[in-house]
Amino acid sequence: MSDVTVLRTPTRLNYEVTAGAVTARFLTGILDKNLIGQRCPACRKVYIPPRGSCPTCAVPTTEAVPVGPRGTVTTFSVVRLPFEGQILPPPYACAHVVLDGADVPLLHIVGDCDVDTVRIGMRVEAVWAPVVEATLASVRYFRPVDEPDVPDDQIRSFL
């Protein structure tokens, strides 16, 4: 028998996470298939998912703003390698999606299409899981919609 040269040392950390009021409201919205962000009272930017404050202005955010479910791809990376825990079989694209009404991109997955057609400016919409739970993973991925691409100059601040 050959020598032992490799050791598997899996690590597992079991956390229990308690969502604060802001995240709890965001997750409650998800249960109704609504994506609800928050607007900064100072710079007027809409954050999704909301964190309860604006990282630029350092002020609390309270105004709830529904965003999406459609959005625009502002950057992406195609995943062609398999790994444990993958939601979609590769290839698929990881993408920044700026949801309609939001001012920050959401990192998510673009699927249900040929990955070679994924592009900056592409219009997409959320595809919900058959059974939604209080997690952003209830949006399983985004798929293309039949709308013209958004020109670069309209999403330049995200590029």
Q: Using the rule CB under 8 A, which residue among 32, 58, 82, 84 binds other proteins?
A: 84
Q: Which stretch in 17-25, 70-78, 112-120, 146-154 sits in contact with other proteins by CB under 8 A?
A: 17-25
SS3 category, 140: strand
Q: Which is nearer to other proteins, 15 or 146 (CB)?
A: 15
> Which DSSP string corresponds to 43-70?
T--EESS--SB-TTT--B--EEEEE-SE
* 132 touches other proteins (CB under 8 A): no
Q: Should residue 81 be labelled a site residue for other proteins when binding is judged by CB under 8 A?
A: no
Least distance (Å) from other proteins to the CB of residue 81?
14
Enumerate residues 6+ apart whose C-beta is below 8 A from 4.
none
Ramachandran area for residue 33 (φ above 0: left; ψ -120 to 50: alpha; else beta): left
- Tell me which of 120, 134, 136, 150 binds other proteins, using CB under 8 A: 134
DSSP state of 29: H
Exposure on the CB side of residue 97, measured as CA atoms within 13 A: 29
Report the sign of the C-alpha dihedral through residues 138, 143, 147, 150, in that order.
positive
Among positions 13, 58, 81, 131, the unique one binding other proteins when judged by CB under 8 A: 13
Segment contacting other proteins (CB under 8 A): 15-23, 102-110, 115-123, 145-153?
15-23
Residues in touch with other proteins (CB under 8 A): 1, 3-21, 23-25, 27-28, 84, 134-135
